[in-house]
Structure 1
């Protein structure tokens, strides 16, 4: 299944001001996460995620599209993801302000048999998987691969990144509706 998120938010500020809070490292840190972002095509950067209690980690990103002040896109890959997703921001001037469009897409989440090989990033191997009562789990340290043994055949489960799920389910909504408007008022002048 392809997981996509599309959001549209109106801000009563000019497009350049909205662009500033999307592309300024300090502003991003206030409304989203600490980072080493630079608005430069090909720039690799990290968001330092610590929003979820007990879960800290990095989200590795790369700027793949930059059209100031209209469009910004970057890859998004946390340590549980074997494939990056894509975050795209589109800014549209409208009467009375700016319409900001967010599209976060491209993560394929498949239901898989638990007794067959499945993909997880290595740093997460074994961290969130309880021991099976039916037997033990065998973790094979290879690039993005984990093997479970002695789990009943026919049991299926969809696995996903905890950090990505947080953002797709409520994190983006909270950031765009609660935190970003506050930084628009205080951060930039136009």
Structure 2
């Protein structure tokens, strides 16, 4: 049976290969102090059902808080959490796949409604910046 809501939402997908082990990427995705270095300040713990927040500087029309809940924790493979801010009720899914000489990282941010074009554009811009910061936090070289 098809889900009509799913057909009307958009998903942002960003993929990148990093010259680092899945273990190193997993730490960057799941350890709160590391996560804060490239994404946002947070009280994240990789425990299914855990509610947490990402915190940014408040800006006009936004208090800087993202309300989240951990949905999937499959160590070194998949991590997913809900992402709720500015009327956006969405889901972020990270998938790590070992490759020769590194790890393929796929990030899917799903749940953008047709009337949330601005949020989609903002997320697209923001996640590219976050990926660039993640690359810097991990360091450019091989392990």
Instruction: Give the TM-score normalised by the residue count of structure 1.
Output: 0.64
More strand by share: 2
- The aligned counterpart of 1:180 is 134
Aligned length: 133
Output the aligned Cα RMSD: 2.1
Matches within 5 A, 1:127-142: none
Q: Please give the per-residue CA displacement for 1:87-122, whole angstroms capped at 9, x wherever unaligned.
A: 00000000010000001112323xxxxxxxxxxxxx
- The aligned counterpart of 1:170 is 125
Matches within 5 A, 1:117-136: none
Q: Please give the per-residue CA displacement for 1:65-93, whole angstroms capped at 9, x wherever unaligned.
A: 01001000000011423xx2110000000
- The aligned counterpart of 1:67 is 74
Task: Report 1 or 2 for greater relative contact order, CA contacts < 8 Å, sequence distance ≥ 6.
Answer: 2
Paired residues of 1:57 and 1:79 also in contact (CA < 8 A):
no
Q: Please give the per-residue CA displacement for 1:102-156, whole angstroms capped at 9, x wherever unaligned.
A: 01112323xxxxxxxxxxxxxxxxxxxxxxxxxxxxxxxxxxxxxxxxxxxxxxx
Gaps of 5+ in 2: 1-7
CA distance in 2, matches of 1:10, 1:179: 14
Paired residues of 1:58 and 1:79 also in contact (CA < 8 A):
no
List, as ranges, runs of 4+ consecutive aligned residues in structure 1 with deviation greater than 6 Å. Answer: none
Gaps of 5+ in 1: 110-157
**Relative to structure 1, is the Cα distance of residues 35 and 164 closer, same or farther in structure 2, using a 3 angstrom cutoff?**
farther
Kindly indicate whether residue 98 of structure 2 is the aligned counterpart of residue 93 of structure 1: yes
Q: Please give the per-residue CA displacement for 1:7-50, whole angstroms capped at 9, x wherever unaligned.
A: 11110011100000000101111101011100111110000123
